[in-house]
């Protein structure tokens, strides 16, 4: 079995992280990143949502402010990012912060891609080309490629990464998830899914990976969660805001035992990393980090 990327646990032993939502002001990031690092969380996940945070900019700042936590970017929209720029920036991050960087690529929200004139007729074709070229560049090779969307002529990074560079792939529909399972070093699931939907996605990923002769890759899942006063109401409002699912098994609200139980259910499905997603009105982000690290994490470890 191929070892999971740094920061992602093996199946059955879920990594525990926190998501810093684009809805939060960038100037809040330092306090949250250092709180997550001090609390012993495994991962800090950042999103590159248009037109809010730049994923790699915030990732570099979070890495510089912390000492041990893995920082993930989920995900980089491939129509938005020039392949050469993405390769250079990812290579630089991996050289500056070895074994602490996770990044995923994906289609991006098509409406947003259209707003900046980057939408393509075949997102799957672009994702396949981008995945192939980016991997070759990060491996240090000289790449010439003439595809439908990508055109690269004898490009070679002067400062390629010195070690392993895991590249995750995010997806939502069956075709995208199948591609992610076959090609990715891990799979990023979308937020706002119910437990039954996550289980179905994991089954699909497992089958697609097996068909490609691979072990099931690591799976990262955002989990909408809240604790303390008004937690249930805040989670319900957050789930409604996402408009992803009408199921009653989306998100979790409650004490450490309740949150830990939800995480362990996901782990049993095949999820290897749970990135707790605060509600947009979370009143105490650093406090939530401490709750996860000091109260939830010990329950997971004991189990």
CA gap 40, 27 in Å, rounded = 22
- Give the global pTM: 0.94
Q: Would you say residue 10 lies in a domain?
A: no
Q: Would you say residue 104 lies in a domain?
A: yes
The first and second tokens of residue 286, run together, are: 């650093």
DSSP classification of residue 212: T
The pLDDT of residue 25 = 96
Q: Would you say residue 24 lies in a domain?
A: yes
Nearest alpha carbon to residue 167 among 94, 63, 112: 94
The first and second tokens of residue 210, run together, are: 């097996």
Across the range 54-69, mean pLDDT stands at 97
Strand ranges for the chain from DSSP E: 15-20, 43-46, 70-77, 101-106, 143-146, 151-155, 167-171, 187-189, 219-226, 252-253, 273-277
The pLDDT of residue 247 = 74
Compute the C-alpha angle 162/165/169, nearest 5°.
Answer: 165
Q: Would you say residue 112 lies in a domain?
A: yes
Q: What are phi and psi of 52, to 5 degrees?
A: -120, -90
Across the range 247-263, mean pLDDT stands at 95
Each residue's pLDDT tens digit, 148-164: 999 999 999 999 999 88
**Percent of all residues in the chain with a pLDDT value above 90, rounded to a whole number:** 91
Q: Would you say residue 2 lies in a domain?
A: no
The pLDDT of residue 8 = 64
**Does residue 154 come out as left (phi exceeding 0), alpha (psi in the -120 to 50 range) or beta?**
left
Q: How many domains does the chain have?
A: 1
The pLDDT of residue 200 = 97
The pLDDT of residue 4 = 61
Which domain, by its residues, includes 106?
15-302
The pLDDT of residue 11 = 52
For position 278, which CATH number holds? 3.20.20.30
* DSSP string for residues in 139-195: TT--EEEE-SS-EEEEE--SS--SS---EEEEE-SHHHHHHHHHH-SSEEEPSS--H
Higher pLDDT, 53 or 123: 123
Q: Would you say residue 150 lies in a domain?
A: yes
Each residue's pLDDT tens digit, 103-145: 999 999 999 999 999 999 999 999 999 999 999 999 999 999 9
Integer angstrom CA distances of residue 139 from 4, 38, 142, 185: 18, 33, 9, 14
Q: Would you say residue 1 lies in a domain?
A: no
Nearest alpha carbon to residue 281 among 224, 215, 243: 224
Q: Which of 20-29, 84-93, 206-215, 234-243 has the lowest mean pLDDT?
A: 234-243
- Rounding to the nearest 10 degrees, give the CA dihedral for residues 224, 227, 232, 238: -30
The pLDDT of residue 2 = 39
Asked if 123 and 79 count as a contact pair (C-beta separation under 8 A), the reply is yes
Q: Which helix (H) or strand (E) holds 136?
A: helix 123-138
- Rounding to the nearest 10 degrees, give the CA dihedral for residues 285, 23, 8, 98: -100
For residue 302, pLDDT over 60 is answered with yes
Each residue's pLDDT tens digit, 1-50: 334 666 665 556 799 999 999 999 999 999 999 999 999 999 999 999 88
């Amino acid at each position: 079995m191929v070892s999971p990327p740094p920061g992602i646990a093996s199946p059955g032993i879920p990594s525990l992280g926190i998501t810093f939502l684009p809805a939060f002001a960038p100037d809040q990031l330092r306090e949250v990143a250092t709180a997550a690092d001090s609390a012993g969380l495994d991962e800090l996940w950042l999103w590159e949502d248009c037109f809010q945070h730049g994923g790699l900019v915030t990732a570099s700042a979070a890495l510089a402010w912390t000492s041990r936590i893995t920082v993930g970017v989920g995900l980089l929209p491939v129509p938005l990012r020039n392949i050469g720029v993405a390769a250079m920036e990812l290579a630089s991050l991996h050289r500056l912060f070895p074994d602490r960087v996770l990044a995923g690529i994906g289609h991006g929200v098509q409406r947003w891609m259209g707003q900046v004139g980057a939408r393509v007729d075949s997102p799957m074709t672009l994702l396949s080309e981008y995945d192939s070229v980016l991997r070759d560049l990060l491996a240090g090779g000289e790449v010439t490629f003439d595809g439908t969307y990508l055109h690269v002529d004898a490009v070679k990074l002067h400062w390629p990464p010195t070690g392993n560079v895991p590249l995750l792939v995010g997806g939502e529909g069956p075709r995208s998830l199948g591609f992610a399972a076959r090609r990715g070093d891990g799979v990023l699931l979308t937020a706002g899914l119910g437990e039954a939907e996550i289980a179905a996605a994991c089954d699909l990923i497992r089958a697609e990976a097996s068909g490609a002769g691979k072990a099931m890759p690591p799976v990262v899942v955002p989990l909408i969660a809240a604790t303390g006063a008004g937690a249930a109401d805040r989670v319900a409002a957050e789930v409604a805001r996402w408009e992803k699912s009408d199921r009653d098994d989306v998100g979790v609200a409650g004490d450490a035992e309740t949150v830990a139980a939800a995480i362990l259910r996901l782990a049993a499905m095949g999820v290897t990393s749970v990135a707790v997603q605060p509600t947009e009105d979370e009143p105490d982000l650093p406090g939530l980090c401490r709750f996860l690290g000091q109260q939830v994490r010990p329950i997971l470890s004991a189990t």
